Structure 1
Amino acid sequence: MTGVEKLRVRATRTRQGNGVEIYSFFLRGADVARIADINRVGRSNEELEGFQRPEIKNHVRSIVEFLDSGPVLFPNAIILAFSSDVVFRAVRGRGVEGCSDISDGGVITIPVRSQGKRAAWIVDGQQRSLALAQAKNDTLVVPVVGFLSADLATHREQFILVNKARPLSARLIDELLPKVGGLLPQDLEERRLPSLLTDELAKDPNSPFYKMLKRKSDPVNAGLITDSALRAAIGQNLKSSMGALSQYRGGGEVDTDAMYRTLFAYWSAVRDAFPDAWGKKSTQSRLTHSAGIRAMGVLMDQIMVRADSTADAEAEVRTSLERLAPHCRWTSGEWDELGLKWNQVQSSPQDIQRLAEHLCRIDRKLARVKP
């Protein structure tokens, strides 16, 4: 770090998890932006990068106005992740009688570098740090908590855990989950597998969902199908004991490859059975609408249970969907028995359930007819 400007402040150190070092100290608010980068979420060659949301300018502006309003109290800690370039030196001395020894004091040294090359990343508090950098009061002191880790998966994990109870987009959390490797609360753990399978379907160039999904990490939102609809459909396939994917999870073992093959085969057959409805926007086709994806996900359970008992499961799936196709009203007309025009079906639980039950009834009836 020779020749590099360094910021040195007093700090305390402790450890959590498997010996991960955690530091607590105070910085002038303006210095946070000098030592830490913001790793924004995005995609490059279909691979997920970063984790932070875009800047919310109105939010930042309101914080700046608050900071410049006078002598304010601003005790909210900024959470940082540090690379190994950050060094902590303990200061030896006599302990204080009767004082807990759960942490030790010392000096932390952080290099100050140009953007993109900094030794720290903001895990929580990016809007606050941006506001602190813009505020007129550049002497305001703020608390900082940092942990030593250059592992992006750990940063994402902590980002999700910190923001889980805040208004963080559920879609962004779900998109980040496949890239998180640590232990998660049970509710997030249950969402990880559907998110992983959705991510694989989105990345595979041969998948029917390739370049079809609207994702939070895609700034232009070029896709046609909302990723949360597919995740919800897959989650349902996993929950039910008769679900198309539940047979591949049991006894602590999860066969994600078999799950992926099943999803790939079914949704490829859906695409091929409804070629005029698959490639259109949800305003032009209810198949690519959240209601259509969710309802077809329910139908998947019924068709796959039947197909798995045949000699050629994939052929049975395609046959089932092809004979169903003439009875569907994805882009025009009115759904028989539902009394709804094609574009009146909404993504409400009631409409999804009615459409799913209607599709399943037709499929059962057609399956009983001898060829």
Structure 2
Amino acid sequence: MSKATLVTIRAVRTEQAGVAVYAFFLPGSKVLEIADISRLERTKEGLEGFQRDAIQKHIAGMVDYLNSGPVLFPNAILLALSPRASFTRSRGPTPEGLIPSGDAGVLKLPIAKDGSKCAWIVDGQQRSTALARATDSTLPVPVIAFVSDDLQTHREQFILVNKARPLPKRMVDELLPEIDARRLPADMATRQIPSALVERLDADPESPFHGLIRRTSSNKDPGRIVTDSALVRMLQKQINNPLGALASFRSLDGGSTDPTAMYAQVLSFWNAVKNAFPEAWGLPPEQSRLLHSAGITALGALMDYLSPRVVQRSNAGKSYAGVLEAIAPYCAWNSGRWIDMDCDWNQIESTAKDIRLLSDQLIRLSQLHNLRHMA
């Protein structure tokens, strides 16, 4: 076999349950040169492969991240290797005190003349595809490979690797403000500002939410009655929706986004909410729907509606307060009924229908207030 038909790399070899396992690095673009993606499909012969279809949006996000500059990408790709791969142990003395966990050497991966490959991707097909499309084809990525050409073993390992749950979204959101946005993929960078605003709302003694927000790290504190995910979702919409209350503070042309101005607006609105509904503020969702996820989302929609009508942003708090205090007698956060919705206060749930009806109710009340004010 000529050298042109071999991919030769340095590797470390060990064994698990009598199966050879290798650890090595490959330039990102080389992964798909040596490894196939075994797609799951059903044919006349039965079930073939095991990999799901590629998620193009996910891949595009990783490509953008890889092309953003020097990046850290240490996530290992898991391969199943054909037994045709060969390993030669390196010679030389063993350093004193070395933990005997594996042997260093040279791994040779044959590529057949017909183009058939010597490995199959068990975990990391999206990453491998993104690496193949990235501008820097030389980025070295870690690979773990076990020797087996048995499809059943490939499927078993695929299921075991993917059995573990991904990180909870709330946990990721809580961690995001601690990370430099320049080092994040675009989709995660857009989640960072809302989460940072929520973090500040909880930590700021001047915030009405001070000490009330329940994050992953503070789930056991009974005094924290506001779920952070409801606030993060509301703020994301206000920032990313062109008609959102905070959209005007977001840069669309490479300029600077102004989270400080965003926070000032959020603070002015929610302080007005707290002052307008003092008897319903600070109560858990089972006692009040004001800080229930449905209430937070609906009030966020009201802020979106009112924001363009605030003439001077420096005086936003007074404008918000005027509307909220006027509609307060018609709201049923912790007792009574929503008359137009024909339901008791505790019948409001976090469903799309209830949130839409509650949002429309609050906006309609504010419109009636404006008409009375103009009369």
AA aligned opposite 1:330: W
Change (3 A) 1:227 1:311: closer
Alpha-carbon displacement from aligned partner over 1:242-266 (angstroms, at most 9, x marks no partner): 2110000122221011001111111
CA RMSD, Structure 1 to Structure 2 (Å): 3.8
1:76 is aligned to none
Q: Secondary structure at the match of 1:205?
A: coil
1:241 is aligned to 242
1:264 is aligned to 267
1:336 is aligned to 339
**Unmatched runs of 5 consecutive residues or more in structure 2:** 1-11, 15-21, 28-65, 77-102, 112-141, 145-160
Shift of 1:92: 11
2:199 is aligned to 199
Does the CA-based 8 Å contact 1:239-1:246 persist in structure 2?
A: yes
2:177 is aligned to 178
AA aligned opposite 2:174: E
Change (3 A) 1:348 1:96: closer
Does the CA-based 8 Å contact 1:278-1:288 persist in structure 2?
A: yes
Shift of 1:309: 4.9
- Structural mapping, 1:107-256, within 5 Å: 166-181=165-180, 183-222=183-222, 223-250=224-251, 251-252=253-254, 253-256=256-259
Shift of 1:315: 1.2
- Structural mapping, 1:1-371, within 5 Å: 14=25, 18=70, 166-181=165-180, 183-222=183-222, 223-250=224-251, 251-252=253-254, 253-309=256-312, 312-370=315-373
Q: Secondary structure at the match of 2:245?
A: coil
TM-score (normalised: structure 2): 0.56
AA aligned opposite 1:248: F
Identity of aligned residues (%): 37
* Alpha-carbon distance between aligned partners in 2 of 1:365 and 1:309, rounded to the nearest angstrom: 22
* Alpha-carbon distance between aligned partners in 2 of 1:185 and 1:179, rounded to the nearest angstrom: 15
Aligned residues: 243
Shift of 1:12: 6.2
Shift of 1:183: 3.7
Shift of 1:312: 2.8
**Unmatched runs of 5 consecutive residues or more in structure 1:** 1-7, 25-90, 101-142, 146-161
AA aligned opposite 2:167: L
* Alpha-carbon distance between aligned partners in 2 of 1:362 and 1:226, rounded to the nearest angstrom: 26
Change (3 A) 1:199 1:96: closer
* Alpha-carbon distance between aligned partners in 2 of 1:21 and 1:259, rounded to the nearest angstrom: 32
Change (3 A) 1:339 1:257: same
Shift of 1:166: 3.8
Shift of 1:307: 1.4
